[in-house]
Amino acid sequence: MKFDTPATTNPIDQMKVVGHPADRVDGPRKVTGTATYAYEQHEAAPNAVYGYVIGAAIAKGTIEAIDTRAASRAPGVLAVISADNAGKLDKGEFYAARALAGPDVDHYHQAVAIVVAQTFEQARSAAQLVRVHYQRGNGVFDLAAAKDGAPPPKPGPYSPPAETSVGDFEGAFARAAVKLDAHFTTPDQSHAMMEPHATIAVWKGKKLTLWTSVQQVNWGVRDLAKTLGIAKEDVRIVTPYIGGGFGGKGTILSDAVLAAVAARKVRRPVKVTLQRALMFNNVTHRPATIQRVRIGASRDGKIDAIGHESWSGNIEGGRPEAATAATRLLYAGPHRMTRLRLAHLDLPEGSAMRAPGEAPGMMALEIAMDEMAEKLGHDPVAFRILNDTQVDPEDPKRPFSTRQLVKCLETGAKQFGWSERNARPGSRRDGRWLVGIGMASAIRGAPVTKSAARVRLDHRGIVTVETDMTDIGTGSYTIIAQTAAEMMGVGIDKVRVSLGDSHFPESAGSGGQWGAASSTAGVYAACVKLREAVAKQLELDPATAEFAGGLVRAGNRSVPLTHAARWRDLVGEDVMEYGDLAKRYAIQTFGAHFVEVGVDAATGEIRVRRMLAVCSAGRIINPKTARSQVIGGMTMGIGAALMEELVVDKRVGFFVNHDLAGYEVPVHADVPHLDAIFLDETDPTIAPLKAKGVGELGISGVAAAIANAVYNATGVRVREYPVTLDKLLGGLPPVA
Q: What one-letter code names the amino acid at 223?
A: D
Distance between CA atoms of residues 7 and 291, nearest Å: 45
Buried b (16+ CB within 10 A) or exposed e, 301-318: bebbbbbbbbbbbbbeeb
Q: What are phi and psi of 602, to 5 degrees?
A: -95, -40
Q: What are phi and psi of 210, to 5 degrees?
A: -120, 130
Cβ-contact 30, 42 below 8 angstroms: no
Q: What one-letter code names the amino acid at 511?
A: G
Catalytically annotated residue among 195, 321, 486, 696: 696
Q: Where are the alpha helices (DSSP H) in 340-491?
A: 358-376, 380-386, 405-416, 476-488
Cβ-contact 319, 158 below 8 angstroms: yes
Cβ-contact 197, 181 below 8 angstroms: no
696 a catalytic residue: yes
Q: Is the peptide bond before 722 cis (omega within 30 degrees of 0)?
A: yes
Distance between CA atoms of residues 253 and 263, nearest Å: 16
Distance between CA atoms of residues 447 and 704, nearest Å: 24
Cβ-contact 115, 131 below 8 angstroms: no
Distance between CA atoms of residues 611 and 603, nearest Å: 23
CA-based nearest residue to 701, from 588, 589, 593: 593
Around Cβ 393, how many Cβ atoms within 10 Å?
21
Task: Determine how β-strand 303-314 pairs with β-strand 335-344.
Answer: parallel
Q: Where are the alpha helices (DSSP H) in 389-514?
A: 405-416, 476-488
CA 457 and chain centroid, separation: 34
Cβ-contact 310, 340 below 8 angstroms: yes
What are the beta bridge partners of residue 392?
395
Distance between CA atoms of residues 49 and 42, nearest Å: 11
Around Cβ 229, how many Cβ atoms within 10 Å?
10
Distance between CA atoms of residues 224 and 729, nearest Å: 50
Distance between CA atoms of residues 375 and 487, nearest Å: 54
* 94: DSSP letter: S
From residue 261, give the alpha-carbon distance in Å to each of 38, 83, 113, 247. Answer: 17, 10, 11, 24
Around Cβ 364, how many Cβ atoms within 10 Å?
30
Residues annotated catalytic, as ranges? 696
